[in-house]
Amino acid sequence: MEEYSKEVEVKNRAGLHTRPAAMLVKLSSQFKSEIYLIKDGFTINAKSIIGVMTLAAEYGSKLIIKAEGIDSKEAVEKLAELFNNGFGEP
């Protein structure tokens, strides 16, 4: 199985609150791959809003996006783009 991962940083000042978490889950759900977010050794399913919210990733947090499956590289790159753009927030 194809696996791909990348480290990203939370760049929006409010961190991974409800709106960006919902954007992340929505985008993750468009891919066939299993997608995970890893923070401080804690791994959650990126397609689960509850999981993403429990990460409590504040501004400046470093996370690893990891995907396993047929579209893993595309999934990780698209999600990394979302983080790099600060989820469209200041």
Which residues participate in catalysis according to the annotation? 17
Q: Are 14 and 89 in contact (CB under 8 A)?
A: yes
Q: Which two tokens stand for residue 26?
A: 């929505």
Element (H, E) at 66: strand 62-68
